[in-house]
Structure 1
Amino acid sequence: MGVSGVGKSTIGAMLSEALKIPFFDGDDYHPTANVEKMTNGQPLNDDDRYDWLLALNTLAQTQEKRNSCIIVCSALKENYREILSNGVASPIQWIHLVGAFELVLDRIDARQNHFMPSNLLKSQFDTLEPPANAIEIDISLPPKEIVQQIMNELTSKTEFGLFGLGVMGKSLSRNLANNNFKISLYNRHVPNTEENVALHFKNAHPELSNALPFDNIETFVASIQTPRKIMLMVNAGKTIDYVIEDLLPHLEVGDILIDGGNSNYKKTKQRSEYLASKGIHFIGVGVSGGEEGALNGPSIMPSGLKKTYNTVAPFFEAIAAKDKNQLPCCTYIGPEGSGHFVKMVHNGIEYAEMQLLAEVVVILKELGNNPDEIATLLESWKVSASSYLLEITIDILRKKEEGDWLLHKIMDKAGNKGTGNWATIATAELGTPSSLIATALFARYTSFYKEDRVRFQKLYETEASAPKLSVDEVFKAYQFARIINHFQGIKLITEASKSFDWYINLSEVARIWTNGCIIRSALMEDLVEILKDDDTMLANQYIVQQIDALKSEARTTVAQCVLAEIPVPCLSEAINFFHSLTTAKSSANIIQAQRDYFGAHTYQRVDDTTGKMYHTNWK
């Protein structure tokens, strides 16, 4: 790309021969009207160029299917380049040929049989919006040197950098390599502890044969094509900030940093603003699927500037899991912070889903079943309630060690890494009752008080009887609670989207959660269509029918568990929340009266529709 006369056709043809890929000159695709207009000394406007750009875009998409190509085109404006790039899934490398006006003018005057006269050159320079994401080449060099310089950039440098080779970083690296991306790998050097990690990792996996390993930040950054695309796979928190500061001296304006960890969405927004002040783009990406998903196809939730996302989209969409229609489980979520927010809510829903299954297993155990028998019962549930978490719970229940179920040997103290905590804080800040997420989090906190639980069981020991329940009742209670959990999670995203002007497409979020991620399930498949029509799940007629068919058994299950002294916090909260949400007249009038009594906080009256506030002297 570049203004007319910089030698695009000459360099493009030479580069085509060097790379052994087809070459196409954009001038050959101009409609006759455009050629005549320029021949008559009139500059083209955006409308003139539009159909021409579309034709070149179609050419690019066609050639992409065959392998690759080189297209010569002035591509003077950013929006022209967006049209040219639209729908091209593979990474695009722009090469910008740059020269002084006088030099270019001399070249135009010297060339023959070209339809663009030299008096139009100034209009091209005036129109030019230099790209931030291009290899920039000085045309004063001889053509052979220019081609060699471009070849060095394209062949000796990698397309993508991965910073941090923990479990997820390693899996994503292998995924990128398996999708034929040439990548640079970095892991820190710690004497006698972490030495040559990237090199050893590369040597251990054949698919990484073309990867470049580093333990020096400066050489790592220098090995990547500009604009650099570097994904940070390090621990969330201050570590991200330290890494950013370490990288900044080696980055250039237009480079892109990508945070692929479980960062707090507020910190992601702050980092984005900080880096923007230095000319560096930032993408916050939620990645779900664990080690296996990261290797074979995760669900990816990116956010940031849309045009920055478009630059990295080919990488993410190639490595993402595929939905039932073979579309990537990756979609642009919205402005910076939204991707990590959605991932945070994903993890919150995951907390509650895990807790619900744990409660179900305990109930089925109290009904007299051993782990193998519980696994068999859960296996039968997959017909109408399949999910990844259900599948792994079945595997866990069947795992034995030295003749006994391994589950019996695992300490009943659950940990957490912060996202459930953040989701609970967010739901409180936004005033949205995602109570199952909070309940699941507090259940984990309660489990950690093992010594107290042992002590208190002895102090308050009772003779509780087994619950009077059928397996079908337990199953329906589980299904009921899952619907409530998903409703609350989606509602939290809805309220955040409204509060922060993110305009999140909820159906698309559900779609990318149908594969690759931890909460993928048959229910999520249903939500893709449901959320196209209504962002309030519980108002959907299909969901109404489901709830009506399940709520009676949910009540019975919770009641029986309370009588049998079986703790089922999430099952209980699901039915309590449902009762609260479906009660037209609540107890909140008493709360408002109490607030007004001791604090003069005032209240509204049901017999006054003006919204006027009242205060009463209650004594």
Structure 2
Amino acid sequence: MKTKIIFIIGVSGVGKSTVANLLSKKLQVPFFDGDDFHHEKNIKKMASGTPLNDADRYDWLQSLNELAIKHVKAKTSCIIVCSALKQAYRDILSHQIEKYSEWVFLHGSFDQIKKRLDNRKNHFMSSELLKSQFDTLEEPTNAIKINVEKSPEHIVEIIKNLSNNKSEFGLFGLGVMGKSLSRNLANNGVKLSLFNRHIAGKEENIALNFKKEFPELATALPFDDIAAFVNSIQQPRKIMLMVNAGKTIDLVIENLLPYLTKGDILIDGGNSNYNKTKERHDYLKSKNIYFIGAGVSGGEEGALRGPSIMPGGNEETYKKIQPFLEKIAAKDENKLPCCSYIGPEGSGHFVKMVHNGIEYAEMQLLAEVFTLLKNLGKNPDEIAAILESWKAIENSYLLEITIDILRKKDGEDWLIHKIMDKAGNKGTGNWTTIATAQLGIPSTMVASSLFARYISFFKEERITVSTYFNTNDLSLNLNSEEILKAYQFARIINHYQGFKLIKEASNRNNWNINLSELARIWTNGCIIRSDLMTSLVTTFKTVDNILHEPEIIEKLQALKPFIKKVVTEGIVNEVAVPTLTDAISFLNSFSKATSSANIIQAQRDYFGAHTYQRTDDTSGKFYHTHWAKN
């Protein structure tokens, strides 16, 4: 039995001592009645019919706390009986031993308890004082709550089962990702508490039915009551929240807070905005609750078999949950977990956001590759065969699933032909585009891919406009090899832009993000895992800017003629290739020592007196010109 101090609390007359005596024999640990530790003046005061005040109780509660601490230091368990009617009293009792403390609250109605007291003999607590106890009572939120209508023997069995059956980890929210992560944790030997809300007629017994569905969840504890869920978890509690980002996560936090205790840890495993994660971190810190914002990538299958996990927050807090996250994470080529501490506050959710931004562009690039090959007269099976041949050269998870998608039939036709060309988004591409603008980093391909999705959504308007401008007279002078090389070029630029954004955010916020380690945890489990990502693990060990790496520079130089041709053919033949176009446009701009920005700055100075620097003055001085003619 792990060391624990079981406090049995409640108003006088609920049978605390009786239950403690029986439980003591069951668990073979000593029990102490708090009444035996009262000072003589307190006993006399109560015997005279005068209630104790807080000052009377302070030394008494401290002596019980010292008793509990003594047992913890000796690594022995015990049971302490004490009314502990206020939360302030319970805070004194559990001071410095919060994680060893378990609370059992015995309760009943006033009439029920009064009748019990009236039948007791030779006890200094008269029934007249009972009302003051009920008036004082602040019901605990983190206790095993048992009605005294049950027999003492039954109560002891309930306490024994719940006390010995505490879980190691809580999972709050059983949507697609929550269910997969739960099964992953259970498959890795973690004893779980599972929670899903109860909505009559819509969501009933979700956790219980989920537990019954999968044998690996045999020892999991299912709940739809928040108090019971929280109290079923060992302290300090570790609870992973798998709910929708935004207001929902804030509502869940507020619902959990009354039942949490100092040192408990909440882990937000959803796609939350990193700015909100920092706010939540600071808010919960003020409540003595720790908060970790953990990006989780891999989708339903990845969450089950091993996702990539990106935790951010206090590093000491992370170490407390590290074993659990590393157990369920994917493994890299060296069998190391694809989970690593990213940095403070919102850094974990920031890199997950950028991960999704890179993902947006990677998906759009493959969509454009499909469009080009389709316009060369290839059917989905033929395109899939071409992409299959690319795997030996430029493999990635997204390439693999695109091949599967293209081969899927629906009747006699390919399913892809029947899917409406309106792409949705859940906000992370939008957030990445906002962040890149705020930080002043030109992650143009993320923005381009996001706007491509926005354009796709105006289906009806596109149909109308297509009658004015569209042409079917295509004559693409391309082959699949040229398209592959353009695709390779664009992928390098996309990854440069994504990691450049992360590096800038890390510098601005003093996050000290290790780009090589980040690339490593993105080599498996996550959506953007690829051969290119694996190569970047080594690249980032020597440089933090891949456009400074000689091999990558050489590769881009070799690939550049092909993307120029592909983009030119696309534009001439009115085939939309926005991210491919953006990739070469970016490098064309970025690789020029002299740009057209001097015109922009002159214009700004003309209408707004924004000033400018001169190329013939190295001092950094700013100038202003009166441009208008006299």
The whole-number CA distance in structure 2 between the counterparts of 1:153 and 1:324 is 42
Question: What SS does the aligned partner of 1:514 have?
Answer: coil
Shift of residue 153, structure 1, vs aligned partner:
7.8
Post-superposition shift, 1:546? 1.2
| 2:351 aligned partner | 342
Q: CA deviation at 1:541?
A: 1.1
**d(CA) in 1 for partners of 2:70 and 2:235?**
25
Which of 220, 223, 226 aligns to 2:232? It is 223
In structure 1, C-alpha distance between the alignment counterparts of 2:407 and 2:521, rounded to whole Å: 30
Match of 2:200 among 186, 191, 202: 191
Q: TM-score, normalised by structure 1?
A: 0.77
* 1:433-457 C-alpha deviation (Å, 9 max, x unpaired): 0000000000000000111111111
Deviations 1:378-435 (A, max 9, x none): 0000001010000000000000011100000000000000000000000000000000
Match of 1:410 among 396, 412, 419: 419
Letter in 1 for 2:333: K
Question: Superposition pairs for residues 314-329 of structure 1, below 5 Å?
Answer: 314-329=323-338
AA aligned to 2:399 is L
Superposed counterparts of 1:510-549, under 5 Å: 510-549=519-558
Asked if the contact 1:289/1:518 (under 8 Å) is kept, the reply is: yes
- Which whole-Å CA distance do the structure 2 matches of 1:188 and 1:439 have between them? 39
> Kindly, what percent of the aligned residue pairs are identical?
64
**Residues 1:223 and 1:369: Cα distance change in structure 2 (over 3 Å):** same
Indicate whether 1:557 and 2:557 are aligned.
no
* Alpha-carbon distance in structure 2 between the residues aligned to 1:103 and 1:329: 40
Deviation by residue 1:449-484 (Cα, 9 ceiling, x = unmatched): 111111111012335422101111100000000000
Partner of 1:100: 66
- Counterpart of 1:444 (choices 425, 434, 453) is 453
Q: 1:102 to 1:578 in 2, by over 3 A?
A: closer
Instruction: Flag the 1:601–1:132 CA change in 2: closer, same or farther, 3 A.
Output: farther
Residue 485 of structure 1: CA displacement? 0.2
Q: CA deviation at 1:104?
A: 6.1
Whole-angstrom CA distance in 2 between matches of 1:103 and 1:416: 54
Structure 1 residue 154 displacement after superposition:
7.2
Aligned counterparts of 2:232 and 2:571: Cα–Cα separation in 1 = 62
Does the 8 A contact of 1:436 with 1:570 survive in 2?
yes
Q: How does 1:266-305 map to 2 (within 5 A)?
A: 266-305=275-314
Once residues 472 and 450 of structure 2 are traced to their aligned partners in structure 1, the CA distance between those partners, rounded to angstroms, is 29
Which has the higher mean CA deviation after the structures are superposed, 435-444 or 154-163?
Answer: 154-163
Aligned to 1:235: 244
**2:174 aligned residue:** 165
The reply to whether residue 134 of structure 1 matches residue 82 of structure 2 is: no
After superposition, the Cα gap between the structure-2 partners of 1:133 and 1:231, relative to the gap in structure 1 and judged at 3 Å, is farther
* Cα distance in 2 between the residues matched to 1:451 and 1:331: 45
Contact 2:297 2:309 in 1 (8 A): yes
Looking at structure 2, the residues matched to 347 and 131 of structure 1 have their Cα atoms a distance apart, in angstroms, of: 43
Which residue pairs with 2:83 in the alignment? none
1:365–1:151 CA distance, 2 compared to 1 (3 A):
same
Q: CA deviation at 1:616?
A: 0.6
CA contact (8 A) 2:241 2:269 kept: yes
User: 1:576 — aligned with what?
Assistant: 585
* Aligned twin of 2:191: 182
The 3-state SS of whatever aligns with 2:365 is helix
Specify which of 502, 506, 509 is matched with residue 497 of structure 1.
506
Aligned AA (1:390): L
SS of 1:438's partner is helix
Whether the 8 Å contact between 2:330 and 2:524 is mirrored in structure 1 is: yes
In the TM superposition, residue 336 of structure 1 has moved relative to its aligned partner by 1.1
RMSD (Å) for aligned C-alpha atoms: 2.4
Q: 1:99 to 1:566 in 2, by over 3 A?
A: same
**Structure 2 counterpart of 1:135, one-letter code:** Y
1:336 partner letter: E
The residue number in structure 2 matching 1:41 is none
1:587-602 equivalences under 5 Å are 587-602=596-611
Aligned match of 1:262: 271
In 1: Cα distance, 2:326 partner to 2:364 partner: 32
Distance 1:101 1:219, change over 3 A: closer
Q: Is the 8 A contact 2:69 2:97 kept in 1?
A: no
Q: Is the 8 A contact 2:162 2:232 kept in 1?
A: no
What letter corresponds to residue 461 of structure 1 in structure 2? N
Shift of 1:131: 6.6
1:606 aligns with 2:571: no
Q: Which residue of 2 aligns with 1:386?
A: 395
Name the CA shift for 1:476/1:512 in 2 (closer, same or farther; >3 Å). Answer: same
The 3-state SS of whatever aligns with 2:182 is helix
Query: What amino acid is aligned across from residue 372 of structure 2 in structure 1?
Result: I
Q: TM-score, normalising length from structure 2? A: 0.76
**2:164 matches 1:155:** yes
- Deviation string 1:187-207 (CA, Å, 9 cap, x unpaired) is 000001000000000000000
Q: CA deviation at 1:545?
A: 1.6
String of CA shifts for 1:242-261, please: whole Å, max 9, x gaps: 00010001110110111000
Q: Aligned letter for 1:435?
A: T
Secondary structure at the counterpart of residue 347 of structure 1: helix
| Residue identity opposite 2:558 in structure 1 | A
137 and 388 in structure 1: CA distance in 2 versus 1, 3 angstrom threshold: closer
Q: Distance in 2 between matches of 1:540 and 1:100?
A: 63
Residues 1:507 and 2:516 are matched in the alignment:
yes
From the superposition, tell whether residues 102 and 418 of structure 1 become closer, same or farther in structure 2 (CA, over 3 Å). Answer: closer
> What is the CA–CA distance in structure 2 between the aligned matches of 1:309 and 1:104, rounded to whole Å?
30
Q: Which position in structure 1 is the counterpart of 2:119?
A: none
Q: Secondary structure at the match of 2:100?
A: strand
What's 1:92 paired with?
Answer: none
Cα distance in structure 2, aligned partners of 1:537 and 1:337: 25
After superposition, the C-alpha distances for 1:43-64 in whole angstroms (9 at most, x for unaligned) are xxxxxxxxxxxxxxxxxxxxxx
- TM superposition shift of 1:542: 1.4
- Aligned to 1:565, the other structure's residue is in SS state coil
Deviation of 1:149 (Å): 13
Secondary structure, counterpart of 1:368 in structure 2: coil
Distance change in 2, residues 1:524/1:598 (3 Å): same
CA change 1:171–1:401 in 2 (3 A) is: same
Gap runs ≥5 in structure 2: 4-26, 29-63, 75-94, 104-156
- Asked if 2 retains the 8 angstrom alpha-carbon contact of 1:464 and 1:563, the reply is no
